[in-house]
Amino acid sequence: MIPVTLTQLWLPILLSAMCVFAASSLIHMVVKWHASDYNALPNEEEVRAAVRKGAPAPGQYVLPHCADMKDMGKPEMAQKYKDGPVGFLVITPSGPPAMGAFLAKWFAFTVLVAIVAAYLTSRTLAPGTHYLQVFRVAGAVSFVAYGFGAIPNAIWMGKPWGSALKDLADALIYGLLSAGVFGWLWPR
């Protein structure tokens, strides 16, 4: 069997990344089904003032903070958890969101997923493989890459399961688009 090379797959890599980028733009800017995933705090201004007063550097924080897992059994730590709030907080640099940079990073990620899908599909299937077989492999790889990160975020970080399921639905759409492109443009 003569293997398919990644250089033979440059067009499906770029086209699948562009299709996913376009679909995600439609999902977030037109359909907006993720708009309800983010809630406002009822006392947002007070919370913002308290966080600003603490001046935390950009990073990821947890409430309550427990430096060592052995401390989880201490009564004062148990009380903090009981009293609440319990949560995770991500602080980014102040200022308007840098949408251009975010979109560039997202597109780079879509290209990376397409490269991984191309690599695994090319190691699995030969030139001339039927469309549906290519569709299955490239689609499965793409779906897993785009979606499965939502599951640990729901398990460990408290992301609502409804939101994680929407992320998986997005991933299914992205996986199907990627699968279609790879199946269509697979070397004959």
What global pTM score does this model have?
A: 0.92
Asked if pLDDT for residue 44 goes beyond 90, the answer is yes
Nearest to 140 by CA among 98, 102, 182: 182
What number is the average pLDDT over the span 94-105? 96
| The pLDDT of residue 173 | 98
The pLDDT of residue 38 is: 92
Q: What is the mean pLDDT of residues 24-40?
A: 95
Strand partners, 60: 90
The amino acid that residue 132 corresponds to is L
What pLDDT is stored for residue 1 in this prediction? 72
| pLDDT score at 2 | 85
**114 contacts 178 by C-beta, under 8 angstroms:** yes
Q: How many residues does the chain have?
A: 188
The amino acid at 1: M
Which residues 6+ apart lie within 8 Å of 153 measured at CB?
159, 164
Q: Which residues of 33-49 are buried (b: 16+ CB within 10 A; e: fewer)?
A: eeeeeeeeeeeeeeeee
User: pLDDT confidence of 177, banded at 50, 70, 90?
Assistant: very high
Per residue in 122-167, pLDDT (tens digit) is 999 999 999 999 999 999 999 999 999 999 999 999 999 999 999 9
Q: Give the separation between CA 117 and CA 9, rounded to whole angstroms.
A: 10
Q: Percentage of residues in the chain with pLDDT exceeding 90?
A: 95
pLDDT of residue 167: 98
Using alpha carbons, select from 180, 186, 184, 185 the residue that is nearest to residue 139. Answer: 180
Q: How confident is the model at residue 114 (pLDDT cuts 50, 70, 90)?
A: very high
* 106 close to 21: Cβ distance less than 8 angstroms: yes
Residue 129 · residue 158 · CB < 8 Å: no
Average pLDDT, the chain: 96
Within its chain, how far is the Cα of 58 from the centroid? Answer: 20
CA distance 68 to 154: 23
| Whole-number Å distance between alpha carbons of 146 and 18 | 14
